[in-house]
Amino acid sequence: MKTLIDTISNSDGHWVGDGFPVRSLFSYNGDTKAVSPFLLFDYAGPWTFEPADGQPRGVGQHPHRGFETVTIVYDGEVSHKDSTGGGGTIGTGEVQWMTAGAGIIHEEYHSPGYSKTGGPFRMVQLWVNLPAKDKMTPARYQAITRDAIQTVELDGGTARIIAGELNGTKGPASTFTPINLWDLRLKADADVILPLPERHTSMIAVLAGHVTIDGKGVGEAEIARFSTEGEGVRIKADGDAIVLVLTGEPIDEPVVGYGPFVMNSEAEIRQAFDDYNSGRFGAVAA
Ligand code: MN
């Protein structure tokens, strides 16, 4: 079995634009080796937005280069538009896997429909690093709908497989390096053993409820981080719980991040700013 190394939490929230009340549970400003190939984990919500007229809340046009953003919507809806000509709405239970690669400019807002009705909002945005050889891959995104995500029955719950594989069921996301991303819904008193791969960075994020792992309690907006050695983790749910399991093969390369860009050197960061400021990231269609 893997051993529990530590738990990560952050009581200081901040707003991303005016639409996303976020707690950053880890970021590339911390120990990047400890979380590789992941770079950042923002937990937005839970929050209840009042109905609003006019421009939906969110964050306007901004660039990214050198990694992928994975947006998982649990409650509410997020609409996006980008410089590749892409756009759409990520509904409840859906996922957007966006490869920023060589560069993208996008905007992220509450959907017009959700904005009008308001209600509960909860999402995760995970940043996944790209190996140096793929950092300048063309930008693209995968819109992963509810129907595309298969469910595995567990003893006392379910796992929706977004990426990777669990008990022979594969996730729809195409990834550059080996990654597992599973959306678990556990019922009170569930006691499950998950087979997590040897040599993978392995983390379990509790988004709602409370679980016990290795005798230690892990509560809402807390991440449990495990050893790369070993092949499994046992989770007991103390009540109904929503848990996100993330594992990935570490990328053993330097990480240099600044704002929306994550590269391997400072020279590449300067180049990213230069390319962005010179209009080489393209533009979002009006
Ligand atoms: Mn963004």
Spell out the residues 6+ positions from residue 270 whose beta carbon is closer than 8 angstroms to its own. none
| Number of alpha carbons in the 13 Å side-chain half-sphere of residue 12 | 1
Residue 274: per-residue pLDDT: 98
Task: Give the pLDDT score at 197.
Answer: 97
- Span from the CA of 210 to the centroid of ligand 1 (angstroms): 30
Structure confidence by residue, pLDDT tens digits, 124-163: 999 999 999 999 999 999 999 999 999 999 999 999 999 9
What would you measure as the largest C-alpha separation in the chain, in angstroms?
Answer: 56
Please check whether residue 286 lies inside any domain of the structure: no
Determine, yes or no, domain membership for 277.
no
* 48 CA to centre of ligand 1 in angstroms: 22
Q: How far apart are CA 164 and CA 171, in angstroms?
A: 5
How many whole angstroms from 41 Cα to the centroid of ligand 1?
13
Q: What is the 188 CA–ligand 1 centroid distance (Å)? A: 35
> What is the overall mean pLDDT for the chain?
97
Q: Could you read off the pLDDT of 210-250 as tens digits, one per residue?
A: 999 999 999 999 999 999 999 999 999 999 999 999 999 99
Backbone CA torsion sign across 237, 208, 106, 144: positive
280: in domain = no
On whether residue 163 sits in a domain, the answer given is: yes
> For position 257, what pLDDT does the model report?
98
d(CA 13, CA 111): 23
Expressed in angstroms and rounded, the spacing between residue 127 Cα and the centre of ligand 1 is 10
Residue 194 CA to ligand 1 centre (angstroms): 31
User: Residue 286's pLDDT is what?
Assistant: 75
Dist CA 264 CA 239 (whole Å) = 42
Distance in Å, CA 106 to ligand 1 centroid = 6
Distance 1 CA to ligand 1 centre (A): 36
Q: How far is the CA of 27 from the centre of ligand 1 (A)?
A: 14
Whether 284 is covered by a domain: the verdict is no
- For the beta carbon of residue 11, count every other beta carbon within 10 angstroms: 6
Q: Which residues constitute the domain of residue 192?
A: 4-270
Q: Identify whether 275 is part of a domain.
A: no
Where on the phi/psi map is residue 146: left (φ > 0), alpha (ψ -120 to 50), or beta? alpha
Query: Is the predicted pLDDT of residue 1 greater than 90, yes or no?
Result: yes
Q: Which amino acid is at 55?
A: Q
Residue 281 within any structural domain of the chain = no
Q: Does some domain include residue 38?
A: yes
What's the CA gap between 189 and 170, in Å, rounded?
27
DSSP states of the chain as a string?
Answer: ---EEEEE-----EEETTTEEEEEEE-TTS-HHHHTTEEEEEEEEEEEEPP--SSPSEEEEEEEBSEEEEEEEEES-EEEEETTS-EEEE-TT-EEEEE-TT-EEEEEEE-HHHHHH-EEEEEEEEEEE--GGGTTSPPEEEEE-GGGSEEEEETTEEEEEEESEETTEEPS---SS-EEEEEEEE-TT-EEEEEPPTTSEEEEEEEES-EEETTEEE-TTEEEEE-SSSSEEEEEESSSEEEEEEEE----S--EEETTEEESSHHHHHHHHHHHHTTTT-----
- Summarised one tens digit per residue, pLDDT across range 23-58 is 999 999 999 999 999 999 999 999 999 999 999 999
User: For residue 133, what is the domain's CATH number?
Assistant: 2.60.120.10
Query: How far apart are the CA of 128 and the centre of ligand 1, in A?
Result: 13
Which tokens is 22 given?
């976020």
As for how many domains the chain has, the answer is: 1
pTM for the model stands at 0.97
Q: How many Å lie between the centroid of ligand 1 and the Cα of residue 16?
A: 10
Residue 266 pLDDT level (bands cut at 50, 70, 90): very high
pLDDT in tens, 84-127: 998 999 999 999 999 999 999 999 999 999 999 999 999 999 99
Let me know: does 24 contact 124? Beta carbons within 8 Å: no
Q: What is the pLDDT of residue 285?
A: 84
CA of 228 to the centre of ligand 1 (A): 29
Digit-coded pLDDT (tens) for 244-254: 999 999 999 99
pLDDT of residue 280: 95
Ligand 1 centre and the CA of 105: distance in Å?
A: 8
